[in-house]
Amino acid sequence: MQLWLLANAPQYGGFCANGLSDGHKIRGKRNNWRIYDGKLFLFYAKGGRNSWDFEIEEQIQLASDYWEEVRYE
Question: DSSP letters along 23-45, please?
Answer: T---B-EEEEEEEETTEEEEESS
| pTM for the whole structure | 0.88
* Rounded CA separation 44/30 (Å): 8
User: What is the arithmetic mean of pLDDT over 15-25?
Assistant: 97
The pLDDT-based confidence of 34 (bands split at 50, 70, 90) is very high
Please give the pLDDT value at position 31: 92
The predicted pLDDT at position 4 comes to 53
Give the Cα separation of 1 and 28 in Å (integer): 23
Q: Is the pLDDT of residue 7 over 80?
A: no
| Cβ-contact 43, 49 below 8 angstroms | yes
